[in-house]
Chain A
Amino acid sequence: MRVNVEVNGEQRTEDNVWEGESLLSLLRDRLGLPGAKNACEQGECGSCTVYLDGVPVCACLVAAGQAEGRSVRTVEGLADGDALHPVQQAFVEAGAVQCGFCTPGLLVATHDLLSRVSHPSDGEIREALAGNLCRCTGYEHILDAVRLAATRGGGRRDQEWRSPDRAGRPGAGAPRDTGDPECER
């Protein structure tokens, strides 16, 4: 089948996609965007988290065909050219990255959290990131990174990014109180 999808602001068309393929394989294996990771393919680890129409989803649980006509933003779309997004910069500085396999998913999840709650409590951070497994860090430096990004207004910048072209779409711009609806755990 053919899939048309907007990825990181660019319109992409891919032919001969097998119906059984996930959005995650579409991104990783066909569109040259391996940033989102496959660590379980069961919605358990959050490594594959991307935005689908502004809502974080586990890309491994979304069929490629479900992305037809929709808009996807991946970790590769967070930075502004050479400048890292404040959330990315905070992960670097806080030592929240070891092997880094969990990092793309955590960045998207953090990015989403800070766009909803600009100064989350530790409890809110833990709850929001509970669907993202990290095996290396014990999460302490990840918490540090989220706190650091919050003090630097990581969330404010995100809302600015979202508002112009996302206005009026479901879930866009407006604060939501749900976690990752398509991720279990």
Chain B
Amino acid sequence: MSTATRETVAGRVGDSAVRPDAALKVRGEFAYSSDLFADDMLWGATLRSPHPHARIRSIDVTAALTLPGVYAALTHADVPGENRYGLDHRDQPVLAEDVVRYQGEPVAVVAADHPETARRALDRIAVDYQVLDPVVDAELAMAEGAPVLHPECPGGNVLRHVRIRRGDPEATAEVVVTGEYRVGMQDQAFLGPESGLAVPAEDGGVDLHVATQWLHVDQSQVAHALGLPPEKVRLTLAGVGGAFGAREDLSMQVHACLLALRTRRPVKMVYGREESFFGHVHRHPALLRYEHGADRHGRLVSVRAEIVLDGGAYASSTPAVVANAATLGIGPYQVPNVRMDCWGVYTNNPPCGAMRGFGAVQACFAYESQMDKLAERLGMDPVELRIRNAMREGSTMPTGQVVDSAAPVAELLRRVRDKPLPPPADPTDPRDLPGGVANTTRGDGVVRGVGYGVGIKNVAFSEGFDDYSTARVRLEVLGGEPVVSVHTAAVEVGQGLVTVQQQIARTELGIARVTVLPADTGVGSAGSSSASRQSYVTGGAVKAACERVRDTLCALAATRLGREVGLVDGKLVTADGAVAASIADVLGDEVIERTVEWRHRPTFPLDPLTGQGNAHTQYAFAAHRAVVDVDVELGLVKVVELACAQDVGRAINPQAVLGQIHGGSAQGLGLAVMEEIQVVDGTVRNPSFTDYLIPTIVDMPPMVVDVLELADPHAPYGLRGVGEPPTISSTPAIVAAIRAATGRALTRVPVRPDDIALAGSASRPVPSRPEVPCD
């Protein structure tokens, strides 16, 4: 019997393990999709429509092809499979045929030996457009007689309508507040632009190295458009520079493959920042009308709401976003009577789809604004009102679904409320003042405000979707040491999923050396890195595969040792706790490999008439308190501090959990005070980081964070999805704080300086509108 001592390996579940890719990333050696190179490589480029709505009479690529250095110029006529793709249904052409439906829609692609040659070739492609009036207002698009943008859509321009009816939808209440709210179009603004490298293969297929969120859904869409069987379209994940939903839809994937197959040379495509604004879907702009009814003690009696989401030119994931906005649309509150209608609509605006928070963000801004309005009407403290109505474990959603794990909404609110408030700003340090060093605030006219927000999000895919992940775990002995490799197709977008997979394998097998193999389509689908689902679903798959490996190892050891053993801290141990053998002794040069497909509890569709159904598998909650200083005369806002409390079930990696909460809160801050794609008549006016502002380190305040770990018994390790909730509640908290400081109604995000400085004061001279709201 071996006398080796048992030692718990570091970097297990619950530890703040260092990411395995961190060293490469700080050395500048991590290969992002835009860093890839191949010998003999060509550069691809895309010609896009300048018009939001136009008929294409003709496309002539001849002049592009005569330019030296140009190897291909392709149009829809060169798409060998069906010229259609799309996440929910295939309504989007790979390259436009007879009509373009949004500004920036791809019309042709070229490949050339230098990026500048490719750009010049695009200038030589002649497209004859007949410009049409764009449909740019989502409400008008729903009206009778509006031009129908997708004749095959049965609902006209209405892509989806979700109705929810609960209790008595016509219930009356003592106190009623109504409001109409708007949310502007937000961009994910990941830093690493859309890019990838397609390499033609000997077998007539193609190998695509790309930054995406879901390899297999890309694979099936690319193969469909190329007219190839899926196994001839092999995808490998290249380094991803952030995603936030924007990589769930295809961008350059099919284009690069088309060019590579045509030229028989590797083709790289990289979008610049401007092109990136046209190259992916955005957060749906929304119009939200709410009526909240309560008794005089502040108990909610009813919520009636109508939400219109502008889906833009193509479906993308709009149907699922509509369901989220509707089912989560009254917030984390107990409301007996609900009437909710939510529509997703086609227009000629930029297509909208997934962005962190996915429908819950827009609704939360509206329902939390309503809660503040109701508190004011009742003369109640806004936190007290929320706590009085807070959902808890066992509460029923407006869909009839019972929340069957922790829902500590009241506790989250209490925690952020009870944090000490930050000290007043130092008026002598301009860095602390609204506008910062570059601006003009002197400290007079600066008013402090405090506001709160709490939100709810579903985790993982919903409404009966077969949501699973696949993990292959291999155990072998190398150099006398047991080594584990984990292979999944799950996409690391920066969130730390590679670390989570390592931590789970170390925990389950007690082995220190765990390698996470590159994600590719050589293993089954992992589903999307979205909906805060990967730690849950791929985490669950890795855990289950490790358990199979462990069972196999223990069975093998029992045969070899002639007695029952278990695996504890990487050693084979008898029932009395004595170490019977090492893994190396038992395994020798055998290899144990197990592949598991793992599913979360099933979900179910919503009833089309009443919206009833157990549509979601897990709910997640976060609350924020925001403290702001506002120069009420100049309309400048400085967010002074954000406090956040979130329940994560179990923090698999506490440091990474905090990183998600910080980063998510920052994106919510962006939506509150600065981020908006300005679309005028279907045309994007600010496709650059000069004009589309995201928070800098100066805009982002210090954060105080409480992480609760109330285990969900249905989830692996009790964990709860982390990524999205903090993006949802920070926006309304910040806007509430600005309202508190200014007394303005502020029914629209992002809040602009004139909303603060000018609203209701028409007599004041109107200064020219600053481009930069808060920088």
Residues of A within 8 A of B (CB): 18, 20, 28, 33-42, 44-45, 47, 74-76, 78-79, 84, 88-89, 91-93, 95, 97-104, 107, 122-123, 125-127, 129-143, 184-185
A42-B688, A136-B494 given as contacts; is B696 within 8 A of A185 (CB)?
A: yes
Contact A92 B694 (CB under 8 A): no
**Which residue, B188, B242, B496, has most C-beta atoms of chain A within 10 A?**
B242
Q: Which of B26, B241, B496, B775 contacts A91 (CB 8 A)?
A: B26
A114 to B422, CA, bound (A): 28
Contact B659 A42 (CB under 8 A): no
Q: Which of A88, A123, A138 contacts B429 (CB 8 A)?
A: A123
- Which B residues, 460 to 511, have Cβ-Cβ distances below 8 Å to chain A? 493-496
Contact B242 A136 (CB under 8 A): yes
Would you give 23 A-B contacts (Cβ < 8 Å), ordered by A? A34-B28, A34-B34, A35-B28, A39-B193, A39-B241, A39-B273, A76-B27, A89-B26, A92-B23, A92-B26, A93-B18, A99-B243, A100-B25, A103-B26, A125-B697, A127-B698, A132-B696, A132-B697, A135-B242, A135-B667, A138-B663, A185-B696, A185-B775
Interfacial chain B residues near A136, Cβ < 8 Å: 242, 494, 659, 663
**Size range of the chain B interface in the assembly:** 35 or more
Interfacial chain B residues near A39, Cβ < 8 Å: 191-193, 241, 273, 689
Interfacial chain A residues near B26, Cβ < 8 Å: 75, 84, 88-89, 91-92, 97, 100, 103, 107
Contact B689 A45 (CB under 8 A): yes
Contact A99 B191 (CB under 8 A): yes
A42-B273, A98-B496, A138-B665 given as contacts; is B242 within 8 A of A92 (CB)?
A: no
Judge whether B32 is part of the interface by a CB distance below 8 angstroms: yes
Q: Which of B22, B431, B663 contacts A92 (CB 8 A)?
A: B22
Whole-angstrom distance between the Cβ of B663 and the nearest chain A Cβ: 4
Contact A140 B192 (CB under 8 A): no
Contact A37 B192 (CB under 8 A): yes
Whole-angstrom distance between the Cβ of B229 and the nearest chain A Cβ: 33
Whole-angstrom distance between the Cβ of A110 and the nearest chain B Cβ: 11
- Which B residues, 267 to 319, have Cβ-Cβ distances below 8 Å to chain A? 270, 272-273
Contact A41 B273 (CB under 8 A): yes
Q: Which residue of B lies closest to A79 (CB)?
A: B27
Q: Which of A18, A76, A101 contacts B114 (CB 8 A)?
A: A18
Q: Is the interface of B mostly helix, strand, loop or mixed?
A: loop
Q: Which of A36, A40, A140 contacts B689 (CB 8 A)?
A: A40
Whole-angstrom distance between the Cβ of A32 and the nearest chain B Cβ: 8
A104 to B690, CA, bound (A): 21
A35 to B25, CA, bound (A): 9
Judge whether B323 is part of the interface by a CB distance below 8 angstroms: no
Judge whether B209 is part of the interface by a CB distance below 8 angstroms: no
Question: A99-B493, A101-B32, A140-B662 known; 16 other A-B pairs, CB under 8 Å?
Answer: A18-B116, A41-B273, A84-B27, A95-B16, A95-B656, A97-B19, A98-B663, A99-B191, A99-B243, A100-B30, A100-B494, A132-B697, A133-B696, A135-B667, A138-B659, A140-B703
A92-B18, A95-B16, A99-B241 given as contacts; is B25 within 8 A of A139 (CB)?
A: no
Q: Which of B190, B429, B432 contacts A99 (CB 8 A)?
A: B190
Interfacial chain B residues near A139, Cβ < 8 Å: 662, 666, 697, 700
Interfacial chain B residues near A98, Cβ < 8 Å: 242, 494-496, 659, 663
Judge whether B605 is part of the interface by a CB distance below 8 angstroms: no
**Per-position binary interface string of chain B over residues 661-672, scored 1 when its CB falls under 8 Å from any chain A CB and 0 otherwise:** 111111100000
Judge whether B88 is part of the interface by a CB distance below 8 angstroms: no
A30 to B189, CA, bound (A): 27
Judge whether B173 is part of the interface by a CB distance below 8 angstroms: no
Closest 5 CB pairs of A and B: A35-B28, A99-B494, A138-B662, A101-B241, A100-B25
Judge whether B244 is part of the interface by a CB distance below 8 angstroms: yes
- Which B residues, 693 to 741, have Cβ-Cβ distances below 8 Å to chain A? 694-698, 700, 702-703
Whole-angstrom distance between the Cβ of A60 and the nearest chain B Cβ: 10
Whole-angstrom distance between the Cβ of B282 and the nearest chain A Cβ: 14
Q: Which residue of A lies closest to B655 (CB)?
A: A95
A44-B688, A130-B698 given as contacts; is B32 within 8 A of A75 (CB)?
A: no
- Which B residues, 416 to 463, have Cβ-Cβ distances below 8 Å to chain A? 429, 431-432, 437
Judge whether B576 is part of the interface by a CB distance below 8 angstroms: no
A91 to B696, CA, bound (A): 18
Whole-angstrom distance between the Cβ of B600 and the nearest chain A Cβ: 25
A122 to B188, CA, bound (A): 27
Q: Which of A40, A84, A126, A132 contacts B431 (CB 8 A)?
A: A126
A91 to B437, CA, bound (A): 27
Judge whether B376 is part of the interface by a CB distance below 8 angstroms: no
**Which residue, A20, A41, A47, A76, has most C-beta atoms of chain B within 10 A?**
A41
